[in-house]
Amino acid sequence: MDSVSFEARPSQYKHWKLDAEGEIARLTMQVDDDHALRPGYELKLNSYDLAVDIELSDAVNRIRFEHPEVRVVIVTAELDRVFCSGANIYMLGSSSHSFKVNFCKFTNETRLYMEDASEHSGLRFVAACKGTTAGGGYELALACDHIALVDDGSSAVSFPETPLLAVLPGTGGLTRLVDKRRVRRDRADVFCTLAEGIKGRRAVEWGLVDQLLARSKFDTGVLDTAKKLAGEVADVPHGPAVTLEPLDRTVEADRIAYRHVDLAIDRAERTATLTIAGPGAAPPTSVEGTVAEGSNLWSLAAFRELDDALCHLRFNEPEIGLLLLRTRGNPERVIAADRALDELAPRCGFAREVRLLQARVLRRLDNTARSFFAVIDNPDNCFAGSLLEVALAADRVYMLEDDDEEIGVYTSVANTGVLPASCGWSRLAVRFFSDPGAVDTVLARGNEGAIATAEAEEVGLATIAADDIDFEDELRIAVEERASLSPDALTGMEASLRNPGPETLATKIFGRLSAWQNWIFTRPNATGERGALTLYGQPERPSFNWMRT
């Protein structure tokens, strides 16, 4: 399969249409059979693959940055009597295990980003389900704030994955059903095992949808609901509008170079080095100056590039198991950029959205099934503030001791919890789960300047600190050892260790659902020669091993 690109723009969408007029936007699903991600299946009945979801993710992001006047997004479809039939089953059946799991992870993140916009950006999403709403289509609806279903005697919402395919709804649907919509678990049990789903009044009574509308009144009723929700959204600053320009990147066989991010791949060792450069100049501190920078603003551009690199690794480099995270640049400029965002965010919607995007990218890093070692061995590093969060997201931090104490890390306002992990805590709070008081100690110390290597180890920011005699050997042995371990075991280990603290909808989705789906996708009942997913659409019936495991 050709390399997957995660760049999209509305003028080139094949599967969605974005129309924004005043405070209401319409995001219309119109999946084009002729533009699947790869040959071998057709995207019938508004079923989707990764190409469809890449556009959806882009559209949600652009609404936040480019259409700040919008208060409500109506998610709808043009296909007659079908909203969305979910992830394309033939695509799933023909995909590698790695692709299936990463596809589910990406779609989960897109829907969490919709909910993030609802929580923080003064936006509401309305799912206008004017027809069949099944599987991933219903999961998309569940990510919205309000679900309207047409009352035509035949349209239903359903989760057919378990009865038909022997797998789970892969995009957070089970968790949202009981945690978000608070559907009684006995009713949820019935619903999730009825392939035909539930329609009409029962769907409302059980809390599966919010509103039934007759077909003749559907469009008017949805618009009335949207206008009502528009008057109820949080009063937060919006705009000014900023266009998200295409990323500037150069792709080579073993390297992707962006303006601020460089990804160098060593396939022989199954490792890569990801280097983030700090700002080249002091940041603008006024609203006007910040908006004038637009998508060139370092705080936005560097994190968009990091996001693209992470997605590239997930889908295009499945055998790269370990990333060495490095930075270069002036730490004071990173701290200044963080401070500027913090001061502007309460009165500038663009600044707020930049910081929220940084948080989302860092959570994508947290949830990426790769090992991450932060390497701090050069005075020219800028692991400061928002970039220190990158090191705190890593599985280990290696720091070089130098006699002149020129190598260190720096804190900023970005480390106080404004870029939270999926559990809702700051990464410092996650790191010092057993000693909450250490967070304030580290932040106070960071306000005084660099925390040099020896002190960083003492306060708990460094995992391994070594002098120049031992450092290279320590790091080399650690890299070789990590690369020799089972990637399956490492994925499970890392996902478990990265998520201490309170459980949230997001941690349940990534910690439980992804783990179960990962396992189920390898089971013969689903993907074996006689498995339900393998035989879907064929006359043969699946053959199950009836042993409970």
pLDDT at 513 over 80: no
CA-based angle 222:226:231, to the nearest 5?
155
Q: Give every CB contact of residue 38 below 8 A, 6+ residues apart in sequence.
A: 1, 2
Arithmetic mean of pLDDT over the chain: 95
pLDDT at 379 over 80: yes
Question: For residue 256, what are the β-bridge partners?
Answer: 251, 263
249-493 matches 10-230 in CATH topology: yes
Q: Average pLDDT for residues 194-200, to the nearest whole number? A: 96
For residue 518, name the pLDDT band (cuts at 50, 70, 90).
Answer: confident
pLDDT of the residue at 340: 97
Considering only residues 3 and 2, tell me which one the structure prediction assigns the higher pLDDT: 3
pLDDT of the residue at 1: 59
| Among 103, 102, 29, residue whose Cα is nearest residue 59 | 29
pLDDT at 460 over 90: yes
Q: Average pLDDT for residues 227-237, to the nearest whole number? A: 92
pLDDT of the residue at 336: 97
pLDDT of the residue at 245: 97
Q: Which pLDDT tens digit goes with each residue over 420-455? A: 999 999 999 999 999 999 999 999 988 888 999 999
| Among 65, 22, 21, residue whose Cα is nearest residue 240 | 65
CATH number 2.60.40.10 given to 10-230:
no
pLDDT at 112 over 90: yes
pLDDT at 80 over 90: no
Q: Which pLDDT tens digit goes with each residue over 45-64? A: 999 999 999 999 999 999 99
Q: Which pLDDT tens digit goes with each residue over 151-177? A: 999 999 999 999 999 999 989 999 999
pLDDT at 277 over 80: yes
Q: Which pLDDT tens digit goes with each residue over 26-52? A: 999 999 999 999 999 999 999 999 999
The count of residues in the chain is 549
Give me the half-sphere count of Cα atoms (radius 13 Å) on the Cβ side of residue 97. Answer: 15
pLDDT of the residue at 192: 97
Instruction: Specify the pairing of strand 464-466 against strand 396-400.
Output: parallel
| Distance between CA atoms of residues 76 and 61, nearest Å | 17
Q: Give every CB contact of residue 175 below 8 A, 6+ residues apart in sequence.
A: 505, 508, 509, 512, 513
How far separated are the first and last CA of the chain, in Å rounded? 34
Do residues 135 and 159 touch, judged by C-beta distance below 8 A? yes
83-97, 130-144, 433-447, 508-522: range with lowest mean pLDDT: 508-522
| Distance between CA atoms of residues 382 and 388, nearest Å | 8
pLDDT at 403 over 90: no
Specify burial of residue 252 (Cβ count, 10 A radius: 0-12, 13-18, 19+): exposed
Domain locations in the chain as residue ranges = 10-230, 249-493
Q: Average pLDDT for residues 455-465, to the nearest whole number? A: 95
Question: For residue 464, what are the β-bridge partners?
Answer: 398
pLDDT of the residue at 323: 98
Backbone angles phi, psi at 466, to 5 degrees: -145, 155
For residue 234, name the pLDDT band (cuts at 50, 70, 90).
Answer: confident
pLDDT at 107 over 90: yes
Q: Which pLDDT tens digit goes with each residue over 462-507? A: 999 999 999 999 999 999 999 999 999 999 899 899 989 999 999 9
Q: Average pLDDT for residues 257-274, to the nearest whole number? A: 97
Which architecture, in CATH terms, is 249-493?
Alpha-Beta Complex (3.90)
